[in-house]
Amino acid sequence: MRFVLVVLLTLCGCRCKEKALDVPAAPKVPRVTTTWAPHEVAAVPDDVYGVPAWSKVFALAFERKISIGVPSCHVEGGCLGIDPLQLRGAPMVSQEMILGRDEPLAFIGEQVSFLEAPDRRARLEQAITDAMTIDPATAPLAAVLFQNDLWERVDAITAAIRNEPGADWAVLEGLKKKLVALMRRVALTRAQLATIASNEGAVTRRYPELLAGFGERDGWAELVSQSTEHRGSTVWQRTTRHAERHGHRMVFRVFIHHAQGRAALSQALTRWPEPLPVGTRFVITGAPMALLTDGSIEPAPFITLLETRQARAEGFMPSQLGTLEHDVLEGSRAALTRMSSDSGGLERLDRAALLPVGATCMPDFTSRLPSASTCLACHGPTGARITGPMAHGETRFELTDDGALAGRAVAEAKRASESFQTLGW
């Protein structure tokens, strides 16, 4: 496990708390370049948004076949009963998978050069033209998800043009223009965005064992952290590492709960990086940011992801993966766009479900591990310490009652970014 921890921290380029890493020299891990195998997108792909014309754009813009590494236990009867430390040494086997199905965007995005192939591009451009005919008012929630997916493609194209010497920038620029026009077409007005209901209450009611009181914020406090990238820096970053990794197209909010109440939590935070009291519950939620017709950037009123853990006593070491109290509630596009008021659209992942190494924080497309063990890599077996943004510099924490703070910080960071300047929004 420590190896995985070191790998992840090396990938993220952080040192976090040096004392947590008593390994003298962190192994250098080369970032593997993924190559994709030939893959034909179906003429009628899965309808992920409940709007077939948008779903076709989604499939054509993202789908590709790649080869990834998975632990051998996954193909030999399951990993849940495995000792997490043993899993670390388990051989990896390679498995083909299609990226670009209904998964979190962070797990499928980033690469764009496969879109340069003439056939693929022609089909995508035709699908974009067809999608332009749909009025977003007919499916506001789906429009938010779809626009956010398109936004990733646009930012990825911007990055490829800037960073990849082999990229066909003329072709990619042409595609980017069309994608931006479609983002604009599916943009909602502020009033339309406000008609979408929050799903937090429904999610709380559906998973009381994890989230009692969460929807009403009963006993739960929101935590914001600020950090400097380097020691001595005077510039304080106000967004999470997660939001940064998602190109500031998603907002992440952190919440904590302890039976002894907010004052006890405040006290414990002053002693960071000491662990929080046993039984503390931690939640991080993710919601897409939406670009509105009036030019503003606002968080969606619903969440698409919730990760949670519970602080265990110092020294806790699980003998089986399944006993780790790390859980993920994930909202697929299909479930969110068809959710009823009591389902909330989020499904609890099996602790053996495969997630990219680095999970939502820093996903690596090339290998996947059972959910609970990906969390273990960064949060340790007890999960008791508030993570903070894993910055190189200083970190400070504050409990806040301003539920819009995190969203505003992400919107400001996005607006100031180079990727946003080239969007012409």
Q: Which of 301, 293, 302, 291 is nearest to 411 (CA)?
A: 291
- From CA 74, how far away is CA 71, in angstroms rounded? 6
CB of 338 to ligand HEC, least distance (A): 24
371 near ligand HEC, judged by CB under 6 A: yes
**Which parts of 31-90 interact with ligand HEC (CB under 6 A)?**
none
Residue 351 near ligand HEC by CB under 6 A: no
Determine how many CB atoms are found less than 10 A away from the CB of residue 133: 8
The residue within the footprint of ligand HEC, chosen from 8, 68, 134, 156 (CB under 6 A), is 8
Nearest approach in angstroms of CB 289 to ligand HEC is 15
Contact segment (CB under 6 A) with ligand HEC among 21-29, 101-109, 370-378, 404-412 equals: 370-378
242 binds ligand HEC (CB under 6 A): yes
Asked if residues 30 and 108 have their Cβ atoms less than 8 Å apart, the reply is no
Q: In whole angstroms, what is the distance from residue 222 CA to residue 239 CA?
A: 14
Asked whether position 280 contacts ligand HEC by CB under 6 A, the answer is: no
Binding mask 212-241 for ligand HEC (x = CB under 6 A): ----------------------------xx
> Of 58 and 397, which CB lies nearer to ligand HEC in the complex structure?
397
According to the binding rule CB under 6 A, does residue 179 interact with ligand HEC?
Answer: no
Report the alpha-carbon distance of residue 420 to residue 28 in Å, rounded. 33
Residue 211 interacts with ligand HEC (CB under 6 A)? no
Question: C-beta of 142: minimal distance to ligand HEC in Å?
Answer: 26
90, 82 contact by CB (below 8 A): yes
Report if residue 307 touches ligand HEC, rule: CB under 6 A.
yes
Burial pattern 293-320, b for ≥16 Cβ within 10 A else e, equals eeeebbbbbbbbbbbbbbbbeeebebee
CB of 24 to ligand HEC, least distance (A): 21
Minimum Å gap between C-beta 282 and ligand HEC is: 4
Tell me which of 326, 333, 368, 414 binds ligand HEC, using CB under 6 A: 326
> What are residue 75's phi and psi, to 5 degrees?
-95, 0
Contact (CB, 8 A) for 352 and 324: no
- Cβ closest to ligand HEC, residue 240 vs residue 419: 240
DSSP, res 242: H
Angle at CA 206, nearest 5°, toward 149 and 102?
Answer: 25
Q: Taking contact as CB under 6 A, which single stretch among the options 265-273, 306-314, 336-344, 409-417 is the one that binds ligand HEC? A: 306-314
Query: Minimum CB separation from ligand HEC for residue 303, in Å?
Result: 13
Residue 224 structure tokens: 């914001």
The residue from 63, 389, 410, 420 that contacts ligand HEC (CB under 6 A) is 389
In the complex, the smallest distance separating the C-beta of residue 169 from ligand HEC, rounded to whole angstroms, is: 32
Residue from 144, 346, 390, 413 touching ligand HEC (CB under 6 A): that is 390
Give the nearer residue to ligand HEC in terms of CB position, either 199 or 371. 371
Q: Is 254 in the site for ligand HEC (CB under 6 A)?
A: yes
Nearer to ligand HEC, 8 or 180 (CB): 8
Closer of 119 and 209 to ligand HEC (Cβ): 209
- Site size with ligand HEC, rule: CB under 6 A: 30
In DSSP notation, 97-149 reads: EEESSSS-HHHH-S--GGGGSHHHHHHHHHHHHHHTTS-GGGSHHHHHHHHHH
Is 103 among the residues that bind ligand HEC (CB under 6 A)?
no
Does residue 203 bind ligand HEC (CB under 6 A)? Answer: no
- Which residues fall within 8 angstroms of residue 324, CB to CB, at 6 or more apart? 84, 318, 351, 372, 373, 375, 376, 381, 383
Rounded-to-10 torsion of CA 409, 411, 335, 379: -30
CB-based closest residue to ligand HEC: 375
Q: Which residue has the tokens 């699980």?
A: 318
> Among 353, 297, 308, which residue's Cα sits nearest to residue 107?
353
CA-to-CA separations, 215 to 92, 152, 199, 207, 212, in angstroms, rounded: 40, 29, 9, 11, 8
Of the candidates 63, 61, 181, 169, the residue with the CA atom closest to the CA atom of residue 121: 61
Q: Which residues contribute to the site for ligand HEC (CB under 6 A)?
A: 8, 240-242, 254, 282-284, 307-309, 326-328, 355, 358-359, 361-362, 371, 374-375, 377-379, 386-390
